[in-house]
């Protein structure tokens, strides 16, 4: 799972949230729970709408430091970030991945959306199409 550090800063009646690793992700909340919810939401949104749609590699998270809040992407979204980054690294566009997986291009858009559930077998197939193997570990 990818865990991104977030900085929560109290500002008058709101809590501002920024991410040291993801410049475009920032939000706020009325209280800690609201800020936590908003942080999770904005992280997924920015990854999808800025990095995935623009074909830019998603920065990997730095270690969470004292005073920072850990914001974790769920397992599926984390795998999709790694899949997307591998596509960027190999210069494979969505249409090419669709061809390699023998899928319609619209399926690849859903496959790469961090907000859409995807079967593990489909993610494994996508990594295989890039010459990679998906491994799962319990630590």
Give the total residue count for the chain: 139
Q: What is the pLDDT along the chain (139 residues), one digit of tens a residue?
A: 899 999 999 988 899 999 999 989 999 999 999 999 999 999 999 999 999 989 999 999 999 999 999 999 999 999 999 999 999 999 999 999 999 999 998 899 889 988 889 999 999 999 999 999 998 888 8
Quickly list DSSP for 58-86.
Answer: PPPPPPPPTT-EEEEPPHHHHHHHHHHHH
Please give the tally of structural domains in the chain. 2
Helix (H) or strand (E) holding 3: strand 3-11
In a domain, 31, yes or no: yes
**Same domain (yes/no): 49, 62:** yes
pLDDT number for residue 99: 97
In a domain, 138, yes or no: no
**Same domain (yes/no): 66, 113:** no
**Same domain (yes/no): 66, 22:** yes
**Same domain (yes/no): 66, 11:** yes
Tokens of 46: 């920015």
pLDDT number for residue 139: 82
**Same domain (yes/no): 41, 15:** yes
Domain of 42, CATH number, reads 3.30.160.250
**Same domain (yes/no): 17, 53:** yes
pLDDT number for residue 11: 86
**Same domain (yes/no): 19, 43:** yes
**Same domain (yes/no): 50, 90:** no
pLDDT number for residue 23: 87
In a domain, 62, yes or no: yes
In a domain, 137, yes or no: no
Domain containing residue 46: 3-72
Tokens of 40: 């999770």
pLDDT number for residue 114: 86
pLDDT number for residue 12: 84
Contacts 24+ apart (CB under 8 A), 78-84: 78/1, 78/2, 79/123, 79/134, 80/111, 80/112, 80/113, 80/114, 80/118, 80/123, 81/2, 81/47, 81/114, 83/111, 83/112, 83/123, 83/126, 83/127, 83/130, 84/51, 84/52, 84/57, 84/58, 84/112
């Amino acid at each position: 799972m990818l865990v991104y550090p977030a900085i929560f800063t109290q500002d008058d009646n709101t809590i501002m949230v920024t991410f040291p690793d993801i410049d475009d992700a920032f939000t706020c909340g009325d209280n800690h729970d609201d800020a936590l919810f908003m942080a999770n939401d904005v992280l997924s949104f920015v990854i999808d709408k800025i990095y995935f749609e623009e074909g830019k590699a998603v920065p990997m998270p730095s270690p969470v430091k004292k005073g920072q809040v850990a914001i974790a992407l769920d397992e599926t979204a984390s795998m999709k970030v790694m899949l997307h980054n591998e596509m960027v690294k190999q210069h494979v566009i969505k249409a090419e991945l669709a061809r390699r997986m023998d899928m319609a291009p619209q399926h690849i858009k859903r496959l790469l959306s961090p907000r859409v559930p995807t079967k593990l077998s489909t993610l494994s197939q996508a990594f295989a199409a890039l010459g990679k193997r998906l491994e799962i570990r319990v630590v």
